[in-house]
Amino acid sequence: MTDTRPFPHRGPLMAGFRHEALLYAGMEQFVERTTPFIKGALEADEPILVVVSRPKIDALRTAIGKESDRVQFKDMSDVGANPARIIPAWHKFVEAHTGQGRRVRGIGEPIYPERTGSELVESQRHEALLNAAFDDAPDFWLLCPYNTQSLDPTVVETAHRTHPVIADGHGYRSSDLYPGVAASVAPYDKPLPEPGALRATLAFDAIGLRSVRRLVSREAASAGLTTRPIADLVLAANEVATNSVQHGGGSGTLRIWRDGGVLVCELRDRGHFDDPLADRRRPSPVQNGGRGLWLANQLCDLVQLRSSSSGTTVRLHMHRDRSR
């Protein structure tokens, strides 16, 4: 179905969450197709946050001119290096403007060619989860640009599965491939690729958490990590392993390997996760427990969570060469 209404809409067409993929080819088209959306927000006095790469921020500032002071810009490589941190950032922005009777707009480009294979998979997962995370948002219009010039066609196709609406600068149409909110948040049980050579394997139970910490710390140091990321990884691995001991059948298995420039710690148990947004919600100070995965996502470069009836797998990734 092709809609012939001009893009972008200026008026409040529909309330609720609008999650659109915007297809473009190259920087020039990026600016050309996002600028009207930003100007539309400014004209309607709607708060807008743009989370893209640094060069794109610069290009948009130039295109918009003086008015760009009223636009919030954030660098996607700060906010979304780990894509699981993007939904909390949008939550924060939307909540800050809720109740003002105005629509809130955003542009976020979490998927770009520099993403590694694992990062890409998790970024696509993030796009799917957005549909559920803001399902009940009062009025939030989010545009996700996809560069058809540099991205693999399969990546652009997946954008059709994760966005109910596709825009291309001339008009927009609803996506035939979009499966709906419920299917977007279905438990993510697609198996992860098996690692190559393992550095270490350890079966642990309640009294084995100290061994988990010791092994993770040593392997992280041997992999070339500096003290701060080592301590971060140890804390994250300990929390995930504690989940295994307390909710995942009392025991689990730790495996550690290196994947090029990344050190991966995997924790597996027999438990089951049924809340796919569990690690995307900022914990409240009064809740008891339930902070482990949130913390892991804030500390690690990437967290991969897969759960099915046969068990749960969490992989924690840390870049080996980074000194934060």
Partner 1 sequence: MSLIDQQPDRCIYPRPFAEDFADCPAYQATSFLATDSRNQPLGEWRTCRHLTAGNELENRGRFYPRCALGSQPQRLQWLAQVTPARVDVVRALQEEFDGFSLPHRRQLSEARSRLHARSRSEATEADVQRLIDGFLQAIDRFLNTNEARFHDVGLPTQPLRQLIKEWVLAWVRTPEMVTPRWADAPDAFASPARAFVGLPTEPVAEWTRRLWDRPIYTDTILQIVPTTEPPGLALVGDVEASNVQAVARALAGLPSATGDVHVDLSGLLFCDLGGLQAIVRAAQALEPGRRLVLHGVPRQLERALEIVDWAPLPNLSIVAEAVQ
What residues line the site for partner 1 (CB under 8 A)?
A: 206-207, 209-210, 213-215, 217-218, 220-222, 224-228, 230-232, 234-235, 238-239, 242, 245-246, 282-285, 288-289, 291-292, 294-295, 298-299, 323
Q: What is the spatial distance between Cα 213 and Cα 245, in angstroms, rounded to a whole number?
A: 14
Nearer to partner 1, 52 or 220 (CB): 220
Shortest separation between residue 232's beta carbon and partner 1, angstroms? 8
Nearer to partner 1, 34 or 244 (CB): 244
C-beta of 92 vs 173, nearer to partner 1? 92
How many Cα atoms occupy the beta-carbon half-sphere of 219 within 13 Å? 27
**Least distance CB 314 / partner 1 (angstroms):** 15
Which lies closer to partner 1 via its Cβ, residue 171 or residue 250?
A: 250
Of 188, 98, 173, which Cα lies nearest the Cα of 137?
98
Rank residues 89 and 166 by Cβ distance to partner 1 and give the closer one. Answer: 89
**What is each CA distance from 215 to 4, 60, 202, in whole angstroms?**
60, 47, 8
CA dist 163 and 147 (Å) reads 15
- Taking the complex as a whole, the smallest distance from the CB of residue 132 to partner 1 amounts, in Å, to 23
Cβ-contact 267, 242 below 8 angstroms: no
- Let me know: does 52 contact 199? Beta carbons within 8 Å: no
**Closest approach of partner 1 to the CB of residue 67, in Å:** 35
Preceding amide of 145 cis, omega within 30: no
Of residues 104 and 296, the one with the C-beta less far from partner 1: 296
Residue nearer to partner 1 on the CB measure, 72 or 246: 246
Structure tokens at 58: 């610069």
DSSP 144-183: EEEETTTS-HHHHHHHHHH-SEEE-SS-EEE-SS---HHH
Smallest distance from partner 1 to CB 224, Å: 7
Closest approach, Cβ 323 to partner 1, in A, equals 6
Tell me how far the alpha carbon of residue 195 is from its chain's centroid.
23
Order of strands, sheet of 16-24, starting from the edge strand that comes earlier in the sequence = 72-75, 48-52, 104-108, 139-147, 16-24, 165-167, 172-174
The distance of closest approach from Cβ of residue 236 to partner 1 in the complex, given in angstroms and rounded to an integer, is 10
